[in-house]
Amino acid sequence: MFTGLADPAVWVAVAFFGFVGILLWKKIPAAIASALDDRADQIRSELDEAKKLREDAQIVLADYQRKQREAETEAEEIIKQAQKEAEILASETEQKLAEQLERRTRQAEEKIARAEQQAISDVQRTAAQLSITAAENILRNNGSGDNSDRLIKETLKAIPENFS
């Protein structure tokens, strides 16, 4: 027989070409190419979706950053307004306190003036009574009869007019 058939390299070559033939006959390379194309399309689709998601995320991030800046601006305005209101309230409170202090001072001064007036009046009244009593005693002890009664009456009438 043919000595070449006993060589294992020939059988490996026959098996290889047979295998490749079966693969071609069953259209395996086309199926592999189709599977690879499908996988490439799927990857391309996922990349497009990821790109779209990234763009959406950037839009959302920009929106949140804008809202954060607006919130910070609004917070600053609120703080400024609160400071203005606090200053106005402090000014009004200070003004009311000054007015109240002035009113109480005026009331105290009026009360002191009335007390002084009352004290002066009391001193005048007491002085008048003491003067009357002293004049009566002097006139009774030193005066004589009708003349002393007349002097007492005139003095008594003149004293209240002098102390008023």
For residue 26, the surrounding DSSP H or E stretch is none
3-state secondary structure of 2: coil
Domain ranges for the chain: 38-163
What is the structure's pLDDT at 131?
79
* Residue at token pair 């290889």: 16
What is the structure's pLDDT at 59?
96
What is the structure's pLDDT at 33?
83
Q: Interior CA angle at 135 toward 131 and 136, to 5°?
A: 120
What is the structure's pLDDT at 155?
66
pLDDT along the chain (164 residues), means of 10: 69 86 77 87 95 95 95 95 95 94 94 92 84 75 62 67 58
- Cα–Cα distance for residue pair 11/2, rounded to 1 Å: 13
pTM surpassing 0.75? no
* 120 phi, psi to nearest 5 deg: -60, -45
